[in-house]
A and B are shown apart, each in its own frame.
Chain A
C-alpha cells in the first residue's frame, strides 16, 4: 500500500523530500476532489495525508467517501502556511456521538 499527499505546493515538496512519491498539488477543494475520488478507487491507497484547509472544504465529500470503509485512511494535517488556532477537532464530535454529552478535555 502507499501513502499519498494532497496539499499545497510547499507541503507536497516537503513530503516528496521524505520519499512520498504520490504527492498531489491542490490549491483548493475543487482541485483536490477529483484526486481524492481517484484515490478512493485505488486499492493500493492506504493512507491519504491532506491539509486541514482542504479537509474542511471537502468535509461532506470525505464523510461520504469514508463511510463504511477503513482504507484508505485519511488524516488531516496543518499545512506549511501555519496552524489554525481554532481548528476542527474531529475527535470532539466523536466523543459527543459516543457518550451522548459534550465533554471538554
Chain B
C-alpha cells in the first residue's frame, strides 16, 4: 500500500479536489503511454532506415578507398596528398531542424558540388585519372555519410525522448497514482468514521434525554 500524501485534511472539500487530481493524473498517464508507444514505433522505423544508411555509406566508402589506394599506387601517396591539398573547398553544410512528435531533429543539408576535374583545383597534368575517380567517389561518400549522421542523431534524440517519457509514465503509474488513491481512501475512511461517531453520539444523547 502506498503512502498517503502528507498533511491532508480529511474534509469533503479535500476529497473533491483529490478526485479531480486523480482524474487528471489518469488522463496524463494515458496520454503519455500513447506517446511512448508512438515514439517506439517511430523509433523502429528509423532504426530500419539507419541500417540502410550505414550500409550505403560504407559501400560507397569501400569503393572510394579502393580508388584512392589505386591512385596512391600509381602516383605515390605523397603526390596524391599533394594534389589533395590543392583541392578547393567545395562542401557546405547547413543544419536545419524538423519536428518529429515534439522533438527537434536535425536535418543536414549538404551540398557537395559535383565538379568536373578541371574545377577541383589540382593540376591535371601531374595527376592520374585515378585521382579524379577517387575524388568523385569521396564526394559521393560525403553525402551518404551525412545521411547516416542525420539518422543516427535522430535515433539518439528519439531514444532520449523515449526514456524521458517512459520515466514519466512509470512515475505516474507507480508513485503518483497509488499515492493519490491511498489518500482518497484515507479521507473516505475518516469521513465515514466521523459519520458513525456522530450517529452514535446522537443516539446516545437521545437515550440520555429519554431517561431523564
The DSSP consensus for interface residues of chain B is helix
Q: Are A18 and B152 in contact (CB under 8 A)?
A: no
Quick one: closest A residue to B162, CB to CB?
A98
- CB < 8 Å A-B pair total: 137
Query: A14 to B83, alpha carbons, bound, how many Å?
Result: 10
- Tell whether A97 is near chain B: CB-to-CB under 8 Å: yes
Query: A83 to B60, alpha carbons, bound, how many Å?
Result: 13
Quick one: closest A residue to B144, CB to CB?
A77
- Assess A98 versus B158: contact at CB under 8 Å? Given A10-B72, A19-B112, A91-B47: yes
Q: Are A19 and B91 in contact (CB under 8 A)?
A: yes
What's the tally of chain B residues with a CB closer than 8 Å to chain A?
Answer: 58
- Tell whether A33 is near chain B: CB-to-CB under 8 Å: no
Q: Within the complex, what minimum Cβ distance (angstroms) separates A5 from chain B?
A: 9
Q: Are B134 and A97 in contact (CB under 8 A)?
A: no
Q: Within the complex, what minimum Cβ distance (angstroms) separates B103 from chain A?
A: 11
Q: Within the complex, what minimum Cβ distance (angstroms) separates B150 from chain A?
A: 8
Which residues B100-118 have CB closer than 8 A to chain A? 104, 106, 108, 110, 112-113, 115
- Tell whether A3 is near chain B: CB-to-CB under 8 Å: yes
> Given B50, B90, B94, B156, which contacts A19 in the complex, CB threshold below 8 Å?
B90
> Given B40, B131, B152, which contacts A75 in the complex, CB threshold below 8 Å?
B152
Q: Are A1 and B77 in contact (CB under 8 A)?
A: no
Quick one: closest B residue to A82, CB to CB?
B65
Set of chain A residues within 8 Å of B80, measured between Cβ atoms: 13, 17
- Tell whether B61 is near chain A: CB-to-CB under 8 Å: yes
Residues of B whose CB lies within 8 Å of any CB of A are: 40, 43, 47, 50-51, 57-58, 61-62, 64-65, 68-69, 72, 77, 80-81, 83-85, 87-95, 104, 106, 108, 110, 112-113, 115, 120, 131, 134-135, 138-139, 141-142, 145-146, 148-150, 152-153, 155-159, 162-163
